[in-house]
Structure 1
Amino acid sequence: MAFEAPFTRRRFLSATLVVGTALPLQKAAWGAQTDPALCKLSPEQEVGPYYLDDELLRSDITEGRPGVPLILDIEVMDARRCVPLVDAIIDVWQCDALGVYSGFTKNAPPPEPPPGTWQGGPGGLGGPGGQRPDGPPPGGQPPDQPPRGRGHPPGPPPKMEPSDHLTFLRGIQRTSRDGLVTFQTIVPGVYEGRTNHIHFKVRGTGSTHAASHVSHVGQIFFPEKLMVQLMDLAPYRDHRTLRTTQNDDPVFSRQQGLTSIARVAPLYGNDPAKGLRARIVAAVDPDATPVPVDNKVDFKTMPAGSVRE
């Protein structure tokens, strides 16, 4: 169900309306809902610098932004009871095909590489589509580029101040009785230091903003080979920023990104460029408060989980 009225999160959370927002989906296509493997607590991931606390209640968040169409299903499970988490509030936000977030469109973009230096393609540093006037880089490492795997420095990303009131590619919904929300969006692009991803939060089932604490912060990733393929299409290929691969993305590599790769299928035949449907399951403790994620911690060695209130 799509909501066209300009409801903000605060107006939405102050209301008591409970709605089923998920588009129809055959459960059999995704496996049994009572599978205990679906109830393993999902790892926490950082919120990032582009979250805004005033998103719209809606299922279609594209606002005409160009890109490969994506239907995104997020299924939320109560990890303690191993049942769908009903009436939870789900926030999503992402960049557009050129790596831009609404609310921050006037912020200065990363500087472009100096003329004559290695230009990475959709496959990352030195990946497919990259060009260099005098041939491939010696030893396989592009010149004038930071060592692989650096991304942004240790610690949480610096806070960004909003520059505008645009709202594209942001939205919230409540989970249905199946614990499901479905968003109509586009495949996200990339920006400096980050691979393709979509952010989401899981909030409690309270009817007011104060009563709905955050019980999970996560990020959704996509199959790497598919992203390499799609980033070679317009409008993604118009982005001159070097594409960061999953292995070079510190959030993916340090915060258990392998557990957060969505299952993806083409919407039309076998051509992913015409549209995709992606599905991910997030298992959360609705009574917990997540431990803030810090990139200085090696999350590969830490168990998934959070601190109970």
Structure 2
Amino acid sequence: MNEEVRPSRSRVSRRRALAIGGVVGLSGVLTACAGAGDPPSGGVATSAAVVTDPAALLDVANTCILAKEGPQGPYWFDVDSIRSDIRDGRPGFTLALALRVHDVSSCSVGGPLTPVRDAVVEIWHCDAGGVYSGFAAARADERSGTSGPSRETSDGAYSRGDPEARPTDGAEYLRGAQAVDPDGIVRFTTIYPGWYVGRTTHIHCKVHLDRKTVLTTQLYFDDNLTDEVYLLSPYVEHITRDTRNDTDPLYDDVGLVTTQRSADGCLAAVNLGVDL
């Protein structure tokens, strides 16, 4: 295992996280989550009242915009895991995430959204040390997202036929899927994603309908917020982050999530527009 990411492979208590010299306190990061400004395509939301449900942010997040198609990356595999809490004990800053799938073909800005019902939304991302579950033994040069060829095609409960990689271990942390509710919304509890060489901070996402993938995309975070979170343990132990949003070759602000503080972490939300 790479010594750079070894510290974040083990659990870290909140007491230790707040005691490490140079690490900002939780309140500092929550302030960053609340931030200033209300960008129309995502970013940091402001509100006189602190919201407690990430779904409450969806109405101020980007709407009526077609989600950006993107590569699924080399570390996707069909875990067939329907669950909302995908942490599996991984250490990191708590992130509550809401995603709403809506049909942009019948959408007008400011008007009611048409939810896509019967969809399944799947997410996966790396841990605080930049490692994906199932691939802890992967070579460091594969973590850029440009290698690691797929070897199979999925035949799972919510996806069929997508090319998938063959995992090198049995871990499935920070991976999972949810069926949308009648409003087209899913909610996940996870941790703020880490980073790896050549990529900015991101979450991978797929939307499936009738076991077919109708969207493969990536979600992104405001760099100022990421800078604050990465001063916390265990992120602070994974140093020399080399890529930010403006230097990432795949970044698109259509995928920028809107964030807000919560009592013990961050809330984030984004609307996923698909054309049906």
Taking structure 1 as the reference length, what is the TM-score of the superposition?
0.61
Residues 89-109 of structure 1: CA distance to partner in whole angstroms, max 9, x if unpaired? 111100000001001011133
* Distance verdict in 2 for CA 1:104–1:158, change over 3 Å: closer
Residues 44-97 of structure 1: CA distance to partner in whole angstroms, max 9, x if unpaired? 111111111123110000001010000010111012233011120111100000
**Larger Rg computed on CA atoms:** 1
Bigger strand share: 2
**Residue 30 of structure 1: how far off its partner (Å):** 3.9
**Residue 157 of structure 1: how far off its partner (Å):** 4.3
Could you tell me which of 102, 115, 130 is aligned with 1:77?
A: 102
Q: Mind listing any 5+ residue stretches in structure 2 that lack a counterpart?
A: 1-51, 108-113, 150-164
CA RMSD of aligned residues (A): 2.5
**Residue 27 of structure 1: how far off its partner (Å):** 6.6
Could you tell me which of 88, 93, 99 is aligned with 2:130?
A: 99
Structure 2 equivalent of residue 284 of structure 1: 274
Partner Cα separation in structure 1 for residue 54 and residue 249 of structure 2: 35
Equivalenced residues, count: 204
Residues 177-228 of structure 1: CA distance to partner in whole angstroms, max 9, x if unpaired? 0100000000000001111100000011x2xxxxx21111111101110101
SS in 2 for 1:91: strand
Structure 2 equivalent of residue 267 of structure 1: 262
Partner Cα separation in structure 1 for residue 221 and residue 55 of structure 2: 21
User: What code does the residue aligned with 1:238 have?
Assistant: E
8 Å CA contact 1:42, 1:282 repeated in 2:
yes
Structure 1 equivalent of residue 202 of structure 2: 197
Partner Cα separation in structure 1 for residue 217 and residue 100 of structure 2: 13
Residues 19-61 of structure 1: CA distance to partner in whole angstroms, max 9, x if unpaired? xxxxx9587654389xxx7223222111111111123110000
User: What code does the residue aligned with 1:93 have?
Assistant: W
Q: Map of 1:118-129 to 2, 5 A cutoff?
A: none
8 Å CA contact 1:152, 1:250 repeated in 2:
no
Q: Mind listing any 5+ residue stretches in structure 1 that lack a counterpart?
A: 1-23, 112-150, 207-211, 269-273, 287-309
Structure 2 equivalent of residue 173 of structure 1: 178
User: What code does the residue aligned with 1:166 have?
Assistant: A
| Percent sequence identity over aligned pairs | 35
Structure 2 equivalent of residue 63 of structure 1: 88
* Distance verdict in 2 for CA 1:100–1:26, change over 3 Å: closer
| Higher RCO (CA-CA < 8 Å; seq separation 6+) | 2
